[in-house]
A = this chain, B = another copy of it.
Amino acid sequence: MSSFKTIEWTDNKVVMIDQRKLPGVEIYNEYSTHKEVAEAIKSMVIRGAPAIGVAAAMGVAIGSLEYKGEDRQKMIDFLDKVCDTLAGTRPTAVNLFWAIDRMKRVIDANKDKNIEEIKNILVTEANLILREDIETCMEIGLQGSQLIIKDSSVLTHCNAGGLATGGYGTALGVIRSAIEKGKNITVISSETRPFLQGARLTAWELQKDDIPVTLVTDNMVGSLMGNGRIDSVVVGADRIAANGDVANKIGTYAVAVMAKHHNIPFYVAAPVSTIDFECSRGDRIPIEQRDISEVTHIGDTRIAADVDVINPAFDITPNGLVDAIITEKGVVKAPYNESIAKLR
């Protein structure tokens, strides 16, 4: 397990480590309204597809506690709005919608119970989603660890670690599991501009757990591959289409193209909840465009000339560049339309 808590339910509050402040300070924020939770997701206090799924579920649970009235239908109507608010935070990671839909189904299945019971059931369900997420990551790790060569150097991009999930991580779960099996793994972490998840989060989390890690800028990855310094690539995913196209942090596509050029295996590790079975292909996945200040500023310091900037948060890696998708239900390979359908 990772040696920190990404998100927890404590005393009817949602507690999250503030990932915007890492690695400088390790601060845990407490939230007691669904709007605060929504804002935390939007502003990236918490990020990573599975983690924001857990956060959204806890946001729904907190929302139910916010309702102080005694009219069950009014509470259910209120929770509808809570779900809409949480769903409106970020568009790309499908786990967000998956978790909200799951909470909605629980509300629907229990809509005849009394108000206090419904609240308890929602809090229990949100905590179950967290627990399941951790177990899922450990199983992803186990499934994926077989793909990792005994003594090797693994590149990961962005953070698909304990910080991106309930704990343990998807891509980093694979690495953790390989190490637990006695494999001698060095991680190369690309810094992941503009939000620097690699430099700030992956590097911090691996160091905290005593896993050897070397940090590089994103543009060094090609050269390292050319020099034989990277044996495999494992990344997470924000949404996987039914055909195996993968939406993940901006830069993932470039890494996949370079891995193909150098004959380096490129693996995606994600829970089945990251697969959007209704989405036939990657170009139908909405790509979030974030504020350009993420590119032009570090904190309050301007680091760029004042010109046009684009800041897509994700890109799409076509299935042809993906050697395998590692899920808790097994490792799937091309043809993905078939292998992914079997995971449903």
Contacts and interface: CB of A to CB of B under 8 A. Distances in A.
Contact of A307 (B206, B260, B306): B206
B207 A312 contact: no
Given A217-B218, A258-B258, A315-B223, A196 B253 contact: no
Contact of A24 (B207, B255, B302): B302
Interface residues of A, number: 57
Contacts of A312: 220, 223
Contacts of A261: 257, 260-261
Determine chain A's interface SS by DSSP, over half rule: mixed
A215 interface: yes
B221 A23 contact: no
A169 interface: no
Given A200-B304, A298-B298, A310 B258 contact: no
Contacts of A200: 303-305
Contacts of A206: 307
Interface stretch (A93-101, A187-195, A322-330): A187-195
A223 B24 contact: no
Contact of A308 (B215, B250, B296, B311): B215
A222 interface: yes
Given A196-B303, A199-B303, A200-B305, A218 B215 contact: no
A92 to B, nearest CB: 13
B298 A215 contact: no
B260 A203 contact: no
A295 interface: yes
B191 A304 contact: yes
Interface in A158-203: 189-194, 196, 199-200, 203
User: Top 8 nearest A-B pairs by Cβ distance?
Assistant: A219-B251, A222-B254, A199-B304, A203-B305, A223-B315, A204-B305, A193-B217, A23-B305
Interface of A: 22-24, 157, 189-194, 196, 199-200, 203-204, 206-207, 212-223, 226, 250-251, 253-255, 257-258, 260-261, 295-296, 298-299, 301-312, 315-316
9 contacts: A192-B219, A199-B304, A200-B303, A214-B307, A222-B257, A223-B253, A223-B316, A226-B253, A298-B303
